[in-house]
Amino acid sequence: MKDELLAFFSTPRTPRQRQYEALRAYAMEGLSAGQAAQRFGFTEKTLFALAHDLQTGKLNLFPKITTGPKDRRVTPHVRNRVCQLRKQNLSVDQIVTQLGEEDISLSPSTIERILKDAGFGKLKRRAASHRGLSTKNTLLPKASQNLDFKQLEPFQAQCQVAGLFFFLPYIVDSGLMEVLEELPLPESGQIGKKQAFLSLLALKLMGGRRFCHVRQYDHDEGLGLFAGLNVLPKPTYMQTYSCLLSAQLCQDLQQKIVSRFRDWAPSFFCSPTINLDFHSIPHFGEMSEMEKVWCGARNKALKGANTFFAQDAETNALLYANADVLRKDGAMEILRFVAYLENIKGVVNETLVFDSRLTTYDVLGQLDQANVKFITLRTRSKSLKQETEALPDDAWEKVKLPIPKRKRQQFLAYESDIMLKGCHNPIRQIIMKDHGRAEPTYIITNNRKMKLTDVLTVYAHRWRIENKLAELVDFFNLNALSSPIMVRIYFDLLLSVVASSLYHRFAKELPRFEKSLAPEIFRCFVDMPGSVRYDGKGFEVRLRKRAHTPILLGVDKLQQTIELPWLNSKPMRIIFTP
């Protein structure tokens, strides 16, 4: 052991020990500076420097080592914050997350130690709902309810689609709220019928595929304000609201809304012609009692809903929709539409334009007897084609249609009167050939006042209803059925009609976008975030400027203060910020 101690002092290992032994040999053993420095690996100048530092106090060969308990590294402010969060019944993991949002980094073990030192015990096991989480570990939103303006305090909230507020002036002016007030629509103590309808309409205006997709907006207080609620209702409420509706109530709602829209925007419903068409919506549910209908997009018959639409031929505005059309009653649906139009206007003086498969000759005879004008196609038969081939060449006349984008504007036409089975009066027939198709086209009509070129031009524009249906499928997701119950499908169609009309009306206020469809209007003008502020007296919707903001600044309705009945007639202003 003595040898080990001798080796420890004769061969120092640490720099501090070498410095001590070199200075001791120089001072106590009588060695010269050069000898002492050489023994311990220093230069003579370094030894003198060490001696100087030792004398002036710069070199401490024996530092004082402190012992005993040390203070906590967590500040009192952070400890108090942890205790405050535990008093809010938050778990350790939730406290870690909350502190992370406040730029405070603590481990779970540290938080457990702080809580134990403060006298807090462990929380009891809680279900996900008690912890404010869903089964998918997402935050549960607040329960949706009408805004109580007696208790509503000033607030500011973010809105994911603040451009939705651009439709509010048009909703107020259209008289839609008065219609909702007149009819006995479903409501509850928490959510009124106006607020419920506006919530469903908001999703249609945003182009959501299904009502269950409201989950991405159910924390958005700005969208809740659009409908007069604190937040939008949950998916279950949105999906089951139409279960309390009857078919008659939907029909009454559609008739009153369209009547109001005709008074509000008469220029949208002034066309002398109306396009009619069926649309098949496939349903892929296993428990479905729906009958099979022909789906042209899939080129086969599938179980689904056969829907019927009517459209103003010039403005493309929808006038009518019905979802409960059975195959055996399909031919009679046009008569139901005529009765519907008579209830709204009192008289039907428009010419109805439709395909040959929409109805039968017997129904055409009934329309002719009721003095309802129509333009449609006649089904080609072998004998009819033979009669056409037998016509002399000089019986045909050259016709040019004034449609600039039409590929073949010039063709041959032959006009005559014919008798159809089921019709008591002669029907006007126009045969077209050399118009780009392999076989002649036969157009029949009972409108004798309309010129031949006008008849052909009107029928050539029947494709506009096809474009409208494509828009309903693409943006308003017409084909996304969530139920095989026809009444629920009917109500969804009605929401699509209302949303389409609002987009159509809004587009007319936008220069150079008057003919744009809903997807483009939504992308350019509506789909933008913003914030909503309430100061106790009124509301402000603030949006950042974008490329199309100058066009919005030219819309007079968006520059005026809006008073919304379902928001206690509080004023609302739309402000664009830099």
pLDDT of the residue at 291: 80
The residues pairing with 445 across neighbouring beta strands, listed in sequence order, are: 375, 428
**Percent of the residues in the chain that have a pLDDT greater than 90, as a whole number:** 38
Looking from the CA of 467 toward its CB, the CA atoms found within 13 Å total 15
Q: What are phi and psi of 544, to 5 degrees?
A: -75, 150
Q: What are phi and psi of 458, to 5 degrees?
A: -60, -45
Q: How far is CA 121 from CA 92, 113, 117, 124, 228, in A?
A: 11, 11, 10, 9, 43
DSSP letter (8 states) at residue 218: T
pLDDT tens per residue, range 170-208: 999 999 999 999 999 998 889 999 999 999 999 889 886
- Residue 409: pLDDT band (50, 70, 90) is confident
pLDDT of the residue at 134: 54
Q: Would you say residue 36 has pLDDT above 60?
A: yes
How far is residue 32's CA from residue 41's CA, in Å, rounded to a whole number? 14
How far is residue 403's CA from residue 397's CA, in Å, rounded to a whole number? 18
Q: How far is CA 21 from CA 32, 41, 566, in A?
A: 14, 11, 92
Q: Would you say residue 138 has pLDDT above 90?
A: no
pLDDT of the residue at 71: 56
pLDDT of the residue at 446: 93
Q: Would you say residue 296 has pLDDT above 80?
A: no
CB 340 within 8 A of CB 316: no
Q: Would you say residue 473 has pLDDT above 60?
A: yes
CB 465 within 8 A of CB 309: yes
Per-residue buried b or exposed e for 149-165, using 16+ beta carbons within 10 Å of the residue's own CB: eeeeeeeebebbbbbbb
Lowest mean pLDDT among 21-25, 81-85, 154-158, 564-568: 21-25
Residue in 414, 432, 427 with CA at minimum distance from that of residue 362: 427
How far is residue 182's CA from residue 256's CA, in Å, rounded to a whole number? 9
pLDDT of the residue at 129: 54
Q: Would you say residue 17 has pLDDT above 70?
A: yes
How far is residue 372's CA from residue 364's CA, in Å, rounded to a whole number? 9
Q: Would you say residue 212 has pLDDT above 60?
A: no
DSSP letter (8 states) at residue 549: H
Give the DSSP letter string of 43-102: -HHHHHHHHHHHHHTS--SSPPPP-S----SS-HHHHHHHHHHHHTT--HHHHHHHHHHT
The residues pairing with 412 across neighbouring beta strands, listed in sequence order, are: 398, 433
pLDDT of the residue at 375: 95
**Percent of the residues in the chain that have a pLDDT greater than 70, as a whole number:** 92
- Residue 158: which H helix or E strand, with range? strand 155-159
Give the DSSP letter string of 352-388: EE--TTSS-HHHHHHHHHTT--EEEEPPP-HHHHHHH
Q: Would you say residue 486 has pLDDT above 90?
A: no
Q: Would you say residue 289 has pLDDT above 80?
A: no
Residue scoring higher pLDDT (408 or 263): 263
Angle between helices 92-101 and 108-117 (to 10 degrees): 110
Q: Residues in the chain, how many?
A: 578
Whole-number mean pLDDT of the chain?
86
How far is residue 227's CA from residue 97's CA, in Å, rounded to a whole number? 33
pLDDT tens per residue, range 329-360: 889 999 999 999 998 888 888 999 999 989 99
